[in-house]
Amino acid sequence: MSGIQKDVARGIGALAFALAFGAAPALAQTKEPIRIGLSMAQTGPLSGAGKSGLVALQIWRDDVNAGGGLLGRPVELVVYDDQTNPALTPGIYTKLLDVDKVDLLIAPYGTNPTAPVMPLVKQRDLLLMGNFALDANAQIKHDKYFNNQPWSSAKDAVGPFLGLSTKLGAKTIAILAADAEFAQNLAGGVRQGLKEYGLRAVYDQNYPPNTIDFSSMLRAIRAQGPDVVFVASYPSDSAAIIRALREIGVGDSVKLFGGGMVGLQYASHLEALGSMLNGVVNYHVWAPEKTLDFPGMREFVARYQARAKEANVDPLGFYLPPYDYAIGEMLAQAVTATKSLDHKVLAKYFREHELSTIVGSIRFGPTGEWARPRMIYVQFRDIANKNLDQFRSPGKQVIVAPDVFKTGEVVPFNQLRR
Amino acid sequence: MLLVDAVIAGVLLGCFYAAVSVGLSIAFGLLDVPHIAHPAFLVLGAYGAYLLGEQGMDPLLAGTLLTPIFFVLGMAVYRFYYVAFEARGSDAGLRGLAFFFGLAFIVEVALILTFGVDQRMVEASYIGDSVSLGIVRLPTRMLVAFGVAVLLTIVLSLYLSFTFTGRAVKAVAQDETALALMGADPVRVKQWGFGIATATCALAGALMIIIGPVEPGLGRLYIGRTFCVAVLAGLGSMPGTLAAGIILGVAESVVLSSVGASWASAVAFGILLIVLAVRPAGLFGR
pLDDT for B173: 78
pLDDT for B246: 94
Look up residue B120 and give its DSSP letter: B
Distance CA B200, CA B156 (A): 10
Phi, psi of B99 (to 5 degrees): -60, -45
B-facing residues of A in 80-119 (CB < 8 A) are 83
- Class in CATH terms, A31-150+297-362: alpha beta
**Residues of chain A positioned with their CB less than 8 A from the CB of B265:** 208, 210
- CB contact under 8 Å between B130 and A248, yes or no, is yes
Neighbours of B134 (CB within 10 A): 6
Of the partner residues B211, B261, B266, the one whose CB lies closest to the CB of residue A212: B211
- CB contact under 8 Å between B142 and A236, yes or no, is no
Distance CA A251, CA A257 (A): 11
Distance CA A230, CA A228 (A): 6
Of the partner residues B128, B213, B256, the one whose CB lies closest to the CB of residue A216: B256
Residues pairing with A259 in the sheet = A231, A282
pLDDT for A16: 44
B-facing residues of A in 244-273 (CB < 8 A) are 244, 246-249, 263, 266-269, 272-273
pLDDT for B90: 60
Q: Compute the average pLDDT of residues A298-318.
A: 92
Q: Does A383 touch chain B (CB under 8 A)?
A: no
Distance CA A345, CA A125 (A): 12
Cβ proximity of B173 and B236 under 8 Å: yes
pLDDT for A26: 46
Give chain B's length: 286
CATH code given to domain A154-284+381-416: 3.40.50.2300
DSSP string, A112-131: HHHGGGHHHHHHTT--EEEE
Radius of gyration of chain A (CA): 23
pLDDT for A30: 63
User: Which H helix or E strand runs over A282?
Assistant: strand A281-284
pLDDT for B269: 82
B-facing residues of A in 302-361 (CB < 8 A) are 311-314
- CB contact under 8 Å between A247 and B137, yes or no, is yes
Ranges of residues in chain B with a pLDDT under 50 are none
Distance CA B157, CA B61 (A): 22
What's the pLDDT band for A210 if we cut at 50, 70, 90?
A: confident
Q: Pick A96 or B171 by higher pLDDT.
A: A96
- CB contact under 8 Å between B213 and A43, yes or no, is no
Q: Compute the average pLDDT of residues A195-224.
A: 91
What's the pLDDT band for A233 if we cut at 50, 70, 90?
A: very high
B281 vs chain A: nearest CA distance in angstroms? 28
What lies within 8 Å, CB to CB, of A165 at 6+ separation is: A173, A197, A199, A227, A228, A255, A256
Does A31-150+297-362 match A154-284+381-416 in CATH topology?
A: yes
Q: pLDDT tens-digit profile of A29-86?
A: 568 999 999 999 998 888 888 999 999 999 999 999 999 999 999 999 999 999 889 9
Distance CA A179, CA A210 (A): 10
Of the partner residues A51, A216, A385, the one whose CB lies closest to the CB of residue B9: A216
pLDDT for B88: 76
pLDDT for A19: 40
A306 vs chain B: nearest CA distance in angstroms? 16
Please name the amino acid found at residue A113.
P
User: Domain limits of chain A?
Assistant: 1-28, 31-150+297-362, 154-284+381-416
B-facing residues of A in 384-413 (CB < 8 A) are 385-386
- CB contact under 8 Å between B116 and A213, yes or no, is no
Q: Is B90 helix (H, G, I), strand (E, B) or coil?
A: coil
DSSP string, B168-232: HHHHHHH-HHHHHHTT--HHHHHHHHHHHHHHHHHHHHHHHHHHS-B-GGGHHHHHHHHHHHHHH
Neighbours of B6 (CB within 10 A): 24
A268 vs chain B: nearest CA distance in angstroms? 6
- Pairing outcome for strands A228-233 and A256-261: parallel
Q: How far is CA A110 from CA A140, A182, A266, in A?
A: 17, 8, 15
Cβ proximity of B149 and B20 under 8 Å: no
Q: Compute the average pLDDT of residues A281-290.
A: 95
Region of residue A304 (phi > 0: left; psi between -120 and 50: alpha; otherwise: beta): alpha
Q: pLDDT tens-digit profile of A310-356?
A: 888 999 999 999 999 999 999 999 999 999 999 999 999 999 999 99
Q: pLDDT tens-digit profile of A105-151?
A: 999 999 889 999 999 999 999 999 999 998 899 889 999 999 999 98
Q: Does A216 touch chain B (CB under 8 A)?
A: yes
| Best residue in B109, B132, B256, B263 for a mutation probing chain A (most A CBs within 10 Å) | B256
Region of residue A57 (phi > 0: left; psi between -120 and 50: alpha; otherwise: beta): alpha
Distance CA A223, CA A246 (A): 16
pLDDT for A418: 74
Q: Residue A280: pLDDT above 90?
A: yes
DSSP string, A339-381: T---HHHHHHHHHH--EEETTEEE-B-TTSSBSS---EEEEE-
Q: Residue A12: pLDDT above 80?
A: no
Q: Does A213 touch chain B (CB under 8 A)?
A: yes
- CB contact under 8 Å between B120 and A268, yes or no, is yes
B221 vs chain A: nearest CA distance in angstroms? 7
Residue of B nearest to A276 (CA): B128
Phi, psi of A201 (to 5 degrees): -80, 120
Distance CA A150, CA B131 (A): 42
Give chain A's length: 418
**Residues of chain B positioned with their CB less than 8 A from the CB of A248:** 130, 137, 139
Q: Residue A28: pLDDT above 70?
A: no
Q: Residue A186: pLDDT above 90?
A: yes
B-facing residues of A in 60-79 (CB < 8 A) are none
Q: Does A45 touch chain B (CB under 8 A)?
A: yes
B156 vs chain A: nearest CA distance in angstroms? 25
Q: Is B80 helix (H, G, I), strand (E, B) or coil?
A: helix
Phi, psi of B79 (to 5 degrees): -60, -45
